[in-house]
Amino acid sequence: MAAMTNSAYDASPPSSTELPPPSRLHQVVVLASSGAGHLIPLVELVRRLAVDHGLAVTVVTLTGMSNPATDAAVLASLPASVATAVLPAVSVDDDTHTIELVRRSLPHLRALMEGLRGGGSPAAALVCDFFGTAALPLAAELGVQGFVFLPNSLAMIYIMRYTAELHGGAAAGEYRDLPDQLPLPGAPALRHADLPDGFGDRTDPTYAYHVEEARRYGGANGFLVNSFEELETAMAESFKRDAEDGAFPPVFPVGPIVRSSSSGEEADESGCLEWLDSQPEGSVVYVSFGSGGALSVEQTAELAAGLEASGQRFLWVVRMPSLDGASNNFAEMDDKDDPLAWLPEGFLERTSGRGLAVAAWAPQVRVLAHPATAAFVTHCGWNSVLESVAAGVPMAAWPLYAEQRVNAVILTEVAGVALRPAARGGGGLVAREEIAAAVRELLNGEKGSAVRCRARELREAAARAWSPEGSSRRALAEVAGKWKAALVDGNRTIA
C-alpha cells in the first residue's frame, strides 16, 4: 500500500496507508512517471485542477528511478489541498524502462485506488503520464475515466498513433521501422533522422515499449497535452476531426503549462539575474541545454569559440561535458565537478563584461522573462520551448536527444519561432562559424527579424490561450466538468 500525505513527499514507504477522512472527496488520481521534465508540468497541471476547478487531487509517484530529493522539491510547490502518495518499491535494474516500472507498480496503484473508494473518497478519473498508459486498463476495470497527460507536443501523439497503426497486431519479431518520410499535419514530412530516440530502429530495446504504449492510446477517454492551438494549429484541427468521427479519443490542448517564477525555482546563487540587470534591454543570448543535455568536449570548445566570435552578449549555463559522446547526462554533479574548468583557456577572461558563464543551473523562467534576454540557444526540451514561447523569446534550435528533433522541426518549420544552426557531417558537430552566424542572425539579421516577430505573436497567443475565454482554459474546464459530473451521477464514460 502507498504512503499518503497532504502536500508532502515520503521517500520511504511505510507498511500501511493513512487515508484522508471520508469527507475528503478525491476526484482525481494523477500518476506521475520518473524525471523532473515530466513531473514539473504535471505538478503545474495539478495546481490548476485544484485551484481553478476545485478538484481534490492525489499525486502518485513511483519509487526506484528518480531522485526523491528532486521530486520532493517539485512537489513542495503544490497547494496544501493536494494529497501525495508514493508507491512502494518494486524490483528494478539498470535496464528497467519507466514503462516497465509502471507496469510492475500496478498492484500497489490498485490497492491505493480501492483504498480511496473504501474510505469514501472514490476517484472519478485516473490521469497517467506519457509513460504510464499501462494503468489505463486498471482505470477501465475500476470504472473510472482514464486520461493521458503528455508533457510534449501534439506531434508526439500523432507519431505514437502512427506507430500503433503501422504495426497493428504484429508480433515483436514482425515490427517494421518507421518510414523515411513520416507526414505530419501542417508540417513537412519528418525525416528518419528527426524521429525521437527509439522510434527509428525496430532493434532498439525501447521500440517494443513504444509500440505497446501506443496501442493502449485507443483505450484512453482523452488526452491532456501541454501545447496550445495556435502553436500546432493543423495538428489540433486534425485531432478535433478524428474525435468527432470517433477515430481517436478526444485530445485537449491545455498549454502552455509552465512554471511560474515562484514555483520550484531556487534562489539565484549564481548572480546571473543581477548581471542581467546591468545589461542593455534585448541584448543577451541565453544558452542552456537543460538539466540532462550534454555536449562533447570538442563541441563545448566550439560553442565557446562561436559565442566569442559572435561579438554578442551571452549568459551560458555550462554543464559537465560528455566524455563518451552521449548527448544526455542526468547524473547529479559531484561537488568536485567544475564544468567551467572545461572551457577553453582564457575564454572567461576574454569575454569578461559581455559574457557570463555559470555552472550547471540558472533560474530559467526568470532569465527568459528578463528584459535583457533577446534569444535562447536551446536543446528544444518541450518545457524549455514553452517557457521561451510564453516569454516571447526567439530560439536557436539545437536538439540533442529524445523527441527534441521533432520539437526543432515544429519550432523552425511550423511555428517559425526558431532558427537552426547546421551541423557538420555525420558526427553532428556544430562549428564555431555556424554558431556565431546563427547568434548574429537571430539578434540582428533579416531572417532573425521574422523569427523575433513571430515570437512576439506567439507570446500573445499563449497568453490568450489561458485568458478567461481562451482555448486552453476552456479545454481544461470541459474535462474538469466531465470528471465532476461522473462522480456526482455515476456516469464514468466520456460523452
CA distances to 303, 402, 417 from 293, in Å:
14, 10, 21
Cα gap 397→419, rounded to integer Å: 6
Q: Which three cell numbers stand for residue 124?
A: 472519478
Of the residues 38, 210, 370, 379, which is catalytic? 38
Distance CA 133, CA 102 (A): 8
If residue 98 lies in a helix (H) or strand (E), which one and from where to where? helix 98-118
Catalytically annotated residue among 129, 194, 210, 370: 129
57 in Cβ contact with 24 (< 8 Å): no
Distance (Å, rounded) from C-alpha 477 to C-alpha 44? Answer: 15
Helix, strand or coil, per DSSP, at residue 235 = helix
How far apart CA 354 and CA 275 sit, in angstroms, is: 10
Q: Determine how β-strand 83-86 pairs with β-strand 3-6.
A: antiparallel
Judged by DSSP in three states, 132 sits in: coil
Q: Which residues neighbour 389 within 8 Å (Cβ) at sequence distance 6 or greater?
A: 231, 256, 415, 417, 455, 458, 459, 462
Q: In what order do the strands lie in the sheet with 373-378?
A: 355-359, 313-318, 284-288, 373-378, 395-397, 418-419
Q: Is 489 a catalytic residue?
A: no
Cis ω before 250 (30° cut-off from 0): no
Phi, psi of 182 (to 5 degrees): -110, 110
Residue 64 CA to residue 92 CA, distance in Å, equals 7
Query: Is 370 an annotated catalytic residue?
Result: no
Strands 181-184 and 187-191: antiparallel
Q: DSSP secondary-structure letter at 324? A: S
Query: At which residue does the C-alpha cell 555525420 appear?
Result: 426
Write the CB contacts of 79 (distance below 8 Å, at least 6 apart in sequence). 7, 47, 50, 51
- The C-alpha cell at 133 is 498508459
Is the CA virtual torsion 121, 126, 131, 135 positive or negative? positive
- Sequence-separated (6 or more) residues with CB below 8 Å from residue 445: none
* Residues taking part in catalysis: 38, 129
